[in-house]
């Protein structure tokens, strides 16, 4: 199923999340160069990422470990994440947001 990486939690592009949403980085759908660049900025699989700015175009800003990072829209499209509920657990398909 598209957007599902086998464990029942949805995987979506980071760029699809609204401001204020938190997710855990699942993977990066890009070459080794971009993956290395993102790791150097602190974006590693499993870490929580909070969307600070996303207006659908232009810069995409996230907070990682208390630091704001600006990504190009194309980069944010390639970062795959699992949305996290307020309690910190990954959402499962079909669950409603509170």
pLDDT digits (tens, 9 = 90+) for 18-64: 999 999 999 999 999 999 999 999 999 999 999 999 998 888 999 99
Q: What is the mean pLDDT of the chain?
A: 84
Where are the chain's structural domains?
12-84
pLDDT of residue 64: 96
Torsion of CA 45, 47, 48, 53, to 10 degrees: -70
How far apart are alpha carbons 93 and 16 in whole angstroms?
16
For domain 12-84, give its CATH number from 2.30.30.90, 1.10.10.60, 1.10.150.20, 3.10.180.10. 2.30.30.90
Query: Does residue 76 carry a pLDDT above 60?
Result: yes
pTM over cut 0.85 = no
Q: Determine phi and psi for 34, rounding to 5 degrees.
A: -70, -40
What strands lie across the sheet with 60-64, from one edge to the other? 12-13, 79-84, 22-28, 48-53, 60-64, 67-71
Query: Does residue 81 carry a pLDDT above 70?
Result: yes
Residues 6+ apart with CB under 8 A from 1: none
């Amino acid at each position: 199923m598209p957007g599902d990486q086998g464990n029942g939690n949805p995987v979506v592009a980071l760029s699809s999340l609204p401001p204020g949403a938190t997710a855990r980085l699942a993977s990066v759908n890009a070459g080794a160069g971009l993956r290395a660049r993102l790791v150097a900025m602190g974006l590693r699989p499993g870490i929580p990422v909070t969307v600070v700015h996303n207006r659908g175009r232009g810069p995409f800003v996230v907070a990682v470990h208390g630091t704001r990072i600006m990504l190009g829209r194309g980069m944010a499209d390639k970062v795959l994440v699992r949305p996290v509920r307020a309690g910190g657990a990954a959402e499962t398909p079909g669950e409603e947001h509170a």
